[in-house]
Chains A and B, each alone.
Chain A
Amino acid sequence: MTADPLDPVIHAPARLRIVATLAALAEGDSLSFTRLQNMLELTPGNLITHLRKLEDAGYLITETTGNGRASRTSIALTPRGRAALATYADALRDLLGSA
Chain B
Amino acid sequence: MQRPLDNDETTTDGDGDELDPREAARLLAQTEREARRQFNLSPQWINAVMGAVILVAYGSLWLSTREQHPYMGPSLGVVALVYVGVVVAFAVSVKVYRRATAGVSGPSVRQQQVEGVAILVSFVLGSPVLQGAMHHYGASNAIVYGVIPAAAPLIIVGTTALGIAASKADWPLFGAALAVVITGVVAAFVGPSGAWLAAGIGLFIAVVGYAAATTRLDRPVPRRA
Chain A contacts to B: CB under 8 angstroms: 1, 3, 6, 8, 11-17, 20-21, 23-26, 28-36, 39, 42-46, 48-52, 62, 64, 71, 73-74, 76, 86, 89-90, 92-93, 95-96, 99
Within the assembled complex, what's the spacing in Å between the Cα atoms of A28 and B105? 9
Within the assembled complex, what's the spacing in Å between the Cα atoms of A3 and B20? 7
CB closest residue in chain A, given B31 = A20
Q: Does B2 contact A (CB under 8 A)?
A: yes
- B: interface residue count bin: 35 or more
Can you give 9 A-B contacts (C-beta < 8 A)? Answer: A13-B16, A16-B28, A26-B107, A28-B106, A31-B104, A45-B11, A49-B11, A76-B106, A96-B22
CB closest residue in chain B, given A71 = B2
Knowing A1-B20, A21-B31, A49-B12, the reply to whether A34 touches B103 (Cβ < 8 A) is yes
Within the assembled complex, what's the spacing in Å between the Cα atoms of A2 and B18? 11
Residues of chain A within 8 A of B118, CB atoms compared: none
Judging by beta carbons under 8 Å apart, are A13 and B19 in contact?
A: yes
Give the shortest distance, in Å, between B8 (CB) and chain A (any CB).
Answer: 4
Judging by beta carbons under 8 Å apart, are B104 and A42 in contact?
A: no
Within the assembled complex, what's the spacing in Å between the Cα atoms of A8 and B24? 12
A6 contact from B12, B24, B104, B223, Cβ within 8 A: B24
Residues of chain A within 8 A of B1, CB atoms compared: 33, 48, 51-52, 62, 64, 73
Residues 35 to 90 of chain B near chain A (Cβ within 8 Å): 35-36, 38-39
Q: A14-B13, A29-B104, A49-B8 are in contact. List 11 more A-B contacts (CB 8 A).
A: A3-B16, A3-B24, A12-B19, A13-B27, A21-B35, A33-B3, A42-B13, A44-B5, A46-B13, A64-B2, A76-B106
Within the assembled complex, what's the spacing in Å between the Cα atoms of A12 and B130? 60
Chain B contacts to A: CB under 8 angstroms: 1-16, 19-22, 24-25, 27-28, 31-32, 34-36, 38-39, 102-109, 222-224
Which of A45, A50, A76, A86 is packed against the most chain B CB atoms within 10 Å? A45
Residues of chain A within 8 A of B5, CB atoms compared: 44-45, 48
CB closest residue in chain A, given B223 = A89
Judging by beta carbons under 8 Å apart, are A12 and B9 in contact?
A: no
Knowing A8-B16, A71-B2, the reply to whether A20 touches B28 (Cβ < 8 A) is yes
